[in-house]
Amino acid sequence: MEEKRQSVHGQWSSRTAFVLAATGSAVGLGNIWKFPYITGQNGGGAFVLVYLICILIIGIPVMMGEILIGRRGRQSPSHSIAYLAKEAGAPRIWTLMGIMGISASFLILTFYVVIAGWAVAYIIVTASGTFTGASAEAVGAYFDDFLADSSGLIFWSTLVTLGTLVTVAGGVRKGLERAVTWLMPGMLVILLILVGYALSTGSFIEGFSFLFKPDFTKLSADGVLVALGHAFFTLSLASGVMIAYGAYLPEDTSIFQTSVIVCAADTAVALIAGLAIFPIVFAYGLDVSEGPGLIFATLPIAFGQMPFGTFFGTLFFIMLSFAAFTSAISLLEPTVAWIVERFSVTRLRAVVISGTVLWVLSLGTVFSFSKWAEIKLFGRTFFANLDYLTANIMLPLGGLLVAGFTAWAMKESATRDELGLGDSPVYSTWRFVMRYIAPVAIVIVFLAKLGAFKHFGIDLS
């Protein structure tokens, strides 16, 4: 029998460790901060429906494809792809797809540490009773002042950055795995407490129908692209992360089952967060299309009014920080693994190099909310451009390439062997979706966004 390869970076100690780490990566700011605000900006129900369809027909198969690449390649994303391209006799140019993924995760991380810093800061701010009895204006003004104070933001994002670096420097088992083993159960317990609390108060009806009652007149082509991009973002796809984590996956673990578990857990957390947040937004007459400030400028109003609000508010921001942290470490791993392999340096050195670049780039996002707020390219700030470029362009494109690579470039025997599903309908469905459905869907969304259908009298934008 062929000797199975091992990653030089180590291996998860069990299937559970992988599921915790992959779910930890998937569940993050994307679920609790971004999903609610983009749903608010894109009109609610119809957007959510498109997002759910994207998760189901594109997210799950692409996640399987990425874990498969990682486990078979057993290296950082670009080196795994190079190895598999060779195995398949496919052109080496495919390696660029790995480089693009690593770049995407690194760019995302530069703004991720900043927003995660807001979450950590808000633990202290909420715990100290700042919002008790505060009016909507006062809470909003507090957030504006908070964003304007760039040295404060630098302090908080530096703290998150250092925590991320120290954890990743610890390696797969002593760093990544140890962190997720504590933080993920902690996050889950807090989420359940908050949901229990939310269920026992207020009315859900308005928030519920905003999330689940589709009104297609409110959905634009841009909204569909945002939903697709977010499906990739929230599942940590097309950014090399699932390839990197897959490289540490034990041989006997089912890639299909673990992918379904991770996708289901991620979706559940996003919907629960929406159900907790929107009723509050409506109850206080706040603006659903507020944007990135939604949970920071609105939720504290409710925490300031409700019984035990300081306690629950503090718990909320602890949960958000935990969720963000387990994603931040995953966002650094592809870059660090790649540097270690490419330049034959120690993990520590790779962490120091990437950490320095990360810190400098993160300042761009910090200043996007103060000094540089008026400096715009394509009508967007530095932060908004990074977000747009990664989520709406690099990730969907990366997803298209993952589908192309696993279903067209790789040999069928290789993918079948690695997924271990034999000739089952699950395998043939996966392959069919990756060969035709996912690529066609992604291309259509891109073309619609570019207005390509206007020539046929169809205006989707």
Interface stretch with ligand PFF, choices 37-45, 172-180, 235-243, 354-362 (CB under 6 A): 235-243
Does 401 participate in binding ligand PFF (rule CB under 6 A)?
no
Q: Which of 20, 21, 29, 301 binds ligand PFF (CB under 6 A)?
A: 29
Does 233 participate in binding ligand PFF (rule CB under 6 A)?
yes
CA–CA dist 95, 77 (Å, integer): 8
* 79-91 per-residue burial string, b: 16 or more CB within 10 A, e: under 16: bbbbbbbeebebe
Does 167 participate in binding ligand PFF (rule CB under 6 A)?
no
Binding residue count for ligand PFF, defined by CB under 6 A: 16
Does 28 participate in binding ligand PFF (rule CB under 6 A)?
yes
Kindly tell me which of 134 and 179 has the beta carbon lying closer to ligand PFF. Answer: 179
Does 441 participate in binding ligand PFF (rule CB under 6 A)?
no
Closest CA to 321 of 121, 175, 173, 180: 121
Minimal CB distance residue for ligand PFF: 30
Does 263 participate in binding ligand PFF (rule CB under 6 A)?
no
Does 245 participate in binding ligand PFF (rule CB under 6 A)?
no
CA–CA dist 249, 5 (Å, integer): 11
Q: What is the DSSP letter of 377?
A: B
Does 105 participate in binding ligand PFF (rule CB under 6 A)?
yes
Does 354 participate in binding ligand PFF (rule CB under 6 A)?
no
How wide is the angle at C-alpha 273 spanned by C-alphas 269 and 275, nearest 5°? 120
CA–CA dist 99, 82 (Å, integer): 11
Is 165 within 8 Å of 356 (Cβ atoms)? no
Does 241 participate in binding ligand PFF (rule CB under 6 A)?
yes
Q: Which of 11, 31, 80, 157 binds ligand PFF (CB under 6 A)?
A: 31
Read out DSSP for 426-455? HHHHHHHIIIIIHHHHHHHHHHHHTTGGGG
Min CB(195)–ligand PFF separation in Å? 19
Min CB(210)–ligand PFF separation in Å? 21
Cβ-defined contacts of 48-54 (< 8 Å, 24+): 48/211, 48/212, 48/214, 48/274, 49/214, 50/219, 50/223, 50/224, 50/227, 50/228, 51/227, 51/230, 51/231, 52/267, 54/227, 54/228, 54/230, 54/231, 54/441
Query: Rule CB under 6 A: which of 317-346 touch ligand PFF?
Result: 327, 330-331
Does 234 participate in binding ligand PFF (rule CB under 6 A)?
yes
Q: Which tokens go with 260?
A: 């379904």
Min CB(109)–ligand PFF separation in Å? 8
Does 30 participate in binding ligand PFF (rule CB under 6 A)?
yes
Residues forming contacts to ligand PFF in the complex (CB under 6 A) are: 25-26, 28-31, 105, 108, 233-234, 236, 239, 241, 327, 330-331
